[in-house]
Amino acid sequence: MAKPTAYLRLLKAVFTLAREGVFSVPSRTDVPKDVAVLLWIADRIARPESEVLDRGERLNAALDKLGPSYIKLGQFLATRPDIVGNDIAKGLGALRDDVPAFGSEAAREIIRNNLNRDVEKLYSSFSEPVAAASIAQVHKATITTPDGEREMAVKVLRPNVRARFQRDLESFYAVAHLAERFIPSTLRLRPVAVVDTLARSVVMEMDLRLEAAALSEMADQSADDPLFSVPKIDWSRTGRDVLTIDWVDGLKLTEIEALDAAGLDRKKLATDLIQVFLRHALEHGFFHADMHQGNLFVHPDGTIIAIDFGIMGRIGPKERQFLAEILYGFVKRDYLRVAQVHFEAGYVPAHHSIEDFAQALRAVGEPIHGQSADDISMASLLGLLFEITELFDMETRTELIMLQKTMVVVEGVSRSLDDGFDMWQAAEPVLREWLTAHLGPGAKLEQAVKGVSSIGRLMQELPELAERASRMSRELDGAIESGFRLDKESIALLARKQAEQNRYARYAVTTLAVLGSLLALDHLF
């Protein structure tokens, strides 16, 4: 049961949403009378100037006024078009953390409490805030090294942000519980589980040691990538509320004129960006899940540099294979194969027809092949895919939604660099290379070798299995003699059962070995 204060904060939030015109809808057809009354009241509260804004802009304005926790909620819901709809998700996708800074003195105190040293002893210089977001702000600093002065970026968590978020989280849970109790149609969307996911995400984001760990993992993952790099971490100046990394001295991807003046090839940059993202997702299953323009820079040599690793995505080996096959199927217009992959992955319940699903996918895929590259949009494709999920009883896959959302964002950044960017042409070489490496003849040979190796280990264990059975029999005889007594009939029955188990174990191991050999040969040929 939520605290009364949570409901009071919720009422304040509802008033702010109504004031910004979020509840104003153009059509009231089939709206229940009690809801119509509430909408009429909301219309009376709304500011007149809100009428000129679309719903996404209205919601952005309201969340911005409600503060950091609600901004983070909006950014999270932008990744869930299955819940809020594509139009709202698109509007929320423009929500940015442009919030006032909290000043240098508070930041200095937080650093002192985290690192047990004054700022002057940690850094040679320490600037006023240069950027501020809903959870943290950034300062520019320098440190003295044997090689000279080194410029650093110092990220400092907002004061009391955890307590503030915890209070707002109570209101979010209150809404979720009310929705599940009084609006049965929302049960399919699992509002409480959605808030749980948001809470876990932000709790991790509010521990800057975890962001440093993600950055470190990404650095190891991309160490040999000539197209991508990340800043180095200064672990000695990093704590729960403080993160110190190298200052990124590159051009922002939003600075189109500066990119041109530096002689950078924007078309190549657009292609490099999508290929870097796909390689991270497919090769390692670990990717930057917040790759908007504000988090991306480019070095004069063309290397893409990413910052802000608070939100990361992961997908497992099977999901990576399905992703590659699905995307490549769309590239090659093989809709039946795309449908089969969905069924093999369990994304579509088995009672549906593969052929019917392939037909629906054709309705999604064919329009993109009938348009020019300028008009082909990953966002449009994913929007259409979401429309058919309900028709085929497809459950939401949160890990794939994070991936899909990031693909939409990355494609948008690439289009901002190159008006004629062709997502499919850029993605095709990476998809083909990955599928050849992991599903081609060479990969099958490697899988066969692994299968034969496993069978070999199993065969080596046969003597040990036999010894275990023999030892069990001896121990049973000893227990009978010294621990407890059984009549002759019981002893004979146990002996028969033990012999049967030993025989079945030998049969099972032999059968597994034969089946394993056949599977290995199937992979090989």
For 258-285, write each residue's pLDDT tens digit: 999 999 999 999 999 999 999 998 889 9
Mean pLDDT, residues 232-238 taken together: 96
Q: Six-digit token pair at 37? A: 């009354």
pLDDT category of residue 414 using cuts at 50, 70 and 90: confident
Q: Is the pLDDT at 221 greater than 50, yes or no?
A: yes
Q: What is the pLDDT of residue 261?
A: 93
pLDDT per residue over 373-382, tens digit each? 455 555 555 5
What is the three-class DSSP state of 96? coil
- DSSP assigned state of 238: -
Cα–Cα dist 323/341, whole Å: 9
Q: What is the pLDDT of residue 220?
A: 95
What is the three-class DSSP state of 229? strand
Q: Six-digit token pair at 295? A: 């988090």
Q: What is the pLDDT of residue 71?
A: 79
Q: Is the pLDDT at 365 greater than 50, yes or no?
A: yes
CB burial class (10 A; 0-12, 13-18, 19+) of residue 415?
middle
290 is a catalytic site residue? yes
Q: What is the pLDDT of residue 376?
A: 53
Residues in the chain: 525
Lowest-confidence pick of 40-44, 483-487, 491-495: 483-487
Q: Of 309 and 54, which is predicted with more confidence?
A: 309
pLDDT per residue over 272-319, tens digit each? 999 999 999 888 999 998 888 888 999 999 999 999 998 888 888 888
Cα–Cα dist 150/148, whole Å: 6
Per annotation, catalytic residue among 82, 234, 241, 290: 290
Phi, psi of 150 (to 5 degrees): -130, 125
pLDDT per residue over 77-130, tens digit each? 776 665 666 667 767 766 665 678 888 999 999 999 999 999 999 999 999 999
Residue 268 C-alpha from the chain's centroid: 26
Mean of pLDDT over the chain: 77
Structural domain boundaries in the chain: 1-96, 98-247, 249-439, 442-524
Q: What is the pLDDT of residue 26?
A: 58
